[in-house]
Copies of this chain bind each other. A is one copy, B any other.
Amino acid sequence: MAGFRAKQSLRVWLKMLRTTTIIEKRVRAYLQAEFGSTLPRFDVLSALYRESTPITMSQLTDRLLVSNGNLTGLVNRLVDDGLISRESDPEDRRAQRVVLIDRGREAFCEMAERHEALVNAQFAAMSDEDMATLLRLATRLDSALRDIPTPKEVQ
């Protein structure tokens, strides 16, 4: 049955990849059309929103969901737009810390509300039971993935 299981994993994976890609594309298109914002920008604001105190760029990187090639450039633009502020880290003068300021908090809340509604609309056909099951299984998968070595360690 090893062959069946491997094929089943592939089927599950391709469906997960397909559905996630579709929803992600829609979220990106929506953020762009309605707020002129990219998904990485929303992701940075979201990460800072969850913090009550300034965090370093390295801590910010760890908290991001979507990978970002040019985080410094993105942060520069958010500072220029008056949504976040940047200061030297008192414990390490060479390091910088960033924090969401009031205008950024307001801008994020407005986007987050619409983001939540759009995401919710994508799952409209799923029953409450389906959603609870999906959450349980995805949470189990997420925990399990932490224990699996990454490709470089496998070899």
Q: Which residues between 109 and 138 of chain A lie within 8 Å of chain B, taking CB atoms?
A: 116-126, 128, 130-135, 137-138
| Cβ of A14 under 8 Å from chain B | yes
Q: A14-B65, A18-B142 are in contact. Are A9 and B152 (CB under 8 A)?
A: no
Is the Cβ of A123 less than 8 Å from the Cβ of B14?
no
Closest residue to A22 on the B side, CB-wise?
Answer: B145
Q: A9-B120, A131-B8, A137-B133 are in contact. Are A145 and B33 (CB under 8 A)?
A: no
| Cβ of A7 under 8 Å from chain B | yes
Is the Cβ of B10 less than 8 Å from the Cβ of A138?
no
Say which residue of B121, B123, B151 sits within 8 Å of A29 (CB atoms).
B151
A39 to chain B, nearest CB (A): 10
Is the Cβ of B10 less than 8 Å from the Cβ of A155?
no
Q: A6-B117, A65-B14, A134-B137 are in contact. Are A20 and B22 (CB under 8 A)?
A: no
Q: A34-B155, A151-B29 are in contact. Are A137 and B126 (CB under 8 A)?
A: yes
A120 and B9 alpha carbons, distance in the complex (Å): 5
Is the Cβ of A147 less than 8 Å from the Cβ of B120?
no
Say which residue of B5, B21, B141 sits within 8 Å of A128 (CB atoms).
B5
Chain A 4-26 interface mask (CB, 8 Å, partner B; 1/0): 01111111111111111111101
